[in-house]
Structure 1
């Protein structure tokens, strides 16, 4: 299992990005969170099997929302969070 933090920049708020990210995470059996940030970016923590997390990262970079546009995604490894049992949209 690996865990990552992703900060996504671009047209990622007001376009269903968080909810499409949750659908993607649920399909890939990824646990974690996604939330909007005050600076207009989206913050994600995701954890799961390595291959699933790598697929998740690749698809987030392409924008899971058809109306969204990702200009930049900063990805870093973090320690897995045992509290994450499913993927949630937070506020």
Structure 2
């Protein structure tokens, strides 16, 4: 069963290609799930995959694309939903 994590990313993460970067990076790593903007200026994501790959992705998400400035990431365990791919919502 894959590990699943729910994330809320805080900082300058909207309007800086953060979601597109997340989709591209997650797909390269073989993760499933989704990413979307929230109305409060944060980005929400759901990651599913092998524990070590999820950890690698979260480490990368602290940096994000060049224009982003991630202040912090709230992380909680989630139920795996069995997604086939990683998508932008």
Q: TM-score range by the shorter chain?
A: over 0.9
In structure 2, what is the equivalent of residue 89 of structure 1? 88
Q: CA deviation at 1:15?
A: 0.4
In structure 2, what is the equivalent of residue 59 of structure 1? 60
In structure 1, what is the equivalent of residue 38 of structure 2? 37
Q: Partners in 2 of 1:76 and 1:24 — Cα distance?
A: 20
Q: CA deviation at 1:61?
A: 1.3
How many residues were matched structurally?
88
Would you say 1:4 and 2:25 are equivalent positions? no
Q: Partners in 1 of 2:32 and 2:66 — Cα distance?
A: 22
User: Alpha-carbon deviations, 1:31-60, whole Å to 9, x = none?
Assistant: 000000000000000000111101001110
Unaligned runs of 5+ in 2: none
Structure 1 residue runs of 4 or more that deviate by more than 3 Å after TM superposition: none
- TM-score of the superposed pair, with normalisation by structure 1: 0.94
Root-mean-square deviation (Å): 0.6
Unaligned runs of 5+ in 1: none
Q: Partners in 2 of 1:58 and 1:37 — Cα distance?
A: 21
